[in-house]
Amino acid sequence: MTITRTSTATPRAASTAALQLDYLSSDQIASQPPSWWQNVLGVVGFEKLPAIEAARVPVTASMTPSLGANDNLCEVWRVAGPEIHLSNGAARQSRVQYRFCEDLLFGSITIEERVIDELTIETKGPCHGRADGDSGALLRATEIAYQEIFGVLKQTEHRHLIRIWNYLPEINREADGDERYRHFNSARRLAFRNSGRATLSTVPAASALGSPAGSPISIYFLAARKPPRMIENPRQTSAYHYPPKFGRHSPIFSRACVLSESTGTNLFVSGTASIVGHETIHQGDVAAQTRETMVNINALLDEANRVVGSARYSLDGLKFKVYVRQPSDLSAIDGALSGALRSSASIVYLQADVCREDLLVEIEATGESARDSAAVLS
């Protein structure tokens, strides 16, 4: 079906700041002038920490290896616009690095479970053990990370978490009788509750992926002073309403959210997979999973446009990050995406374990609004 609507959105005023996402190589980043750096909120490396001076801006890494020709690419978040003033922060007694302007904040935190373990052993004695399956350090590290993030948001008054990326080492490994992802869900939920935050409806868009054993837990996020609009997918059960068979405590995230403030307008699509209702479909068929994921992303675009009341967002305006469980599936996934996206589409492929054993691919996307006032939805 093709829908053509006239947008009611006002064109972005030239003086308005806008949040921008770019995927740049370390060489491209190294050749930027100082004026460019003034507007950078944060830089995320994929394989490893980018070799840039962390004193200027928060620098972190998801520890998810690049696939294909994406060597040494980085994800760069900038606020564009005249007279933007950014400040750095390092909260006392917090591991969170952050940088912010009036409307928006980017932050990151990494925590090694090993360190948490050592702290626990010091205070409780070694009798609590740390068998390989021990989930205590993961629970504690997750709780601390979220607690420290919420502390920064409170302190800087950017109270609304809009988008958060969670990378956990060995996300599918069993620990103490349950998958590590499920333990993470329990701790995340507890942290939201302990900070008095909602665990439904107004929760952030998110991704949660696995990184190799030995990586730290790495979490980064965007927050805003004013609340975004949350978007759910009519084809999917909201994740916070998943039935208990997917874990005692549901994951806490929205399927997407729209930020439309003086910062311009952005759409954040959470990690999206081949799930209809709450069930994984197309088990074992990576091409079909990829196509189903794109149907879900299209449904979210329609829903976002319905909520904002204009055809503001389109596939062409999105930048994609595709998480591939098995590197050998890359060409099948790329083939399926070439049927759904233009050849010029911005796609970064990364190797990561997805948080259900039967999901082979997960896709997230970020968009800026179409600039013109008569965008076409297809």
Nearer to ligand 3EB, 246 or 313 (CB): 246
Task: Report the C-alpha gap between 259 and 51 in whole angstroms.
Answer: 31
SS3 288: helix
Nearer to ligand 3EB, 9 or 257 (CB): 257
H-helix or E-strand spanning residue 188: helix 180-194
Query: Which residues belong to the active site?
Result: 362
Task: Select from 78-86, 107-115, 205-213, 329-337 the region that touches ligand 3EB (CB under 6 A).
Answer: 205-213
Could you tell me which of 304, 307, 282 has the C-alpha nearest to residue 293?
282
Q: Which residue lies nearer to ligand 3EB by CB, 103 or 170? A: 170
- Residue from 324, 355, 370, 377 touching ligand 3EB (CB under 6 A): that is 355
Query: Which residue lies nearer to ligand 3EB by CB, 29 or 286?
Result: 286
How near is the Cβ of 245 to ligand 3EB at its closest, in Å? Answer: 13
Closer Cβ to ligand 3EB, 23 or 184, answer by number:
184
297 near ligand 3EB (CB under 6 A): no
State residue 323 phi and psi, 5-degree precision.
-100, 125
Which residue's Cβ lies closest to ligand 3EB?
A: 271
**Angle, nearest 10°, between helix axes 180-194 and 136-156?**
40
Asked whether position 270 contacts ligand 3EB by CB under 6 A, the answer is yes
**Concatenated DSSP letters for 120-167?**
HHHHH-GGG---TT--HHHHHHHHHHHHHHHHHHHHHT--EEEEEEEE
Under rule CB under 6 A, residue 275 binds ligand 3EB: yes
Q: Can you tell me the distance from the alpha carbon of 272 to that of 247, in angstroms, rounded to the nearest whole number? A: 18
In whole angstroms, what is the distance from residue 119 CA to residue 122 CA?
A: 5
Q: Is 50 in the site for ligand 3EB (CB under 6 A)?
A: no
Q: For residue 14, what are the contacts with CB-CB under 8 A and spacing of at least 6?
A: none
> Which string of x and - marks every residue 152-191 that binds ligand 3EB (by CB under 6 A)?
--------------x-------------------------
Stretch that binds ligand 3EB, among 74-82, 89-97, 265-273, 325-333 (CB under 6 A): 265-273
Residue 83: phi, psi to the nearest 5? 55, 40
Is residue 230 within 8 A of residue 202, CB to CB? The reply is yes
- Does position 294 interact with ligand 3EB (CB under 6 A)? The reply is no
- Identify whether the C-beta of residue 131 lies closer than 8 Å to the C-beta of residue 177: no
Which one of residues 228, 264, 271, 367 is an interface residue with ligand 3EB (CB under 6 A)?
271
CB of 7 to ligand 3EB, least distance (A): 29
Q: Which residues bind ligand 3EB (CB under 6 A)?
A: 166, 206-208, 239, 251, 253, 270-271, 273, 275, 355
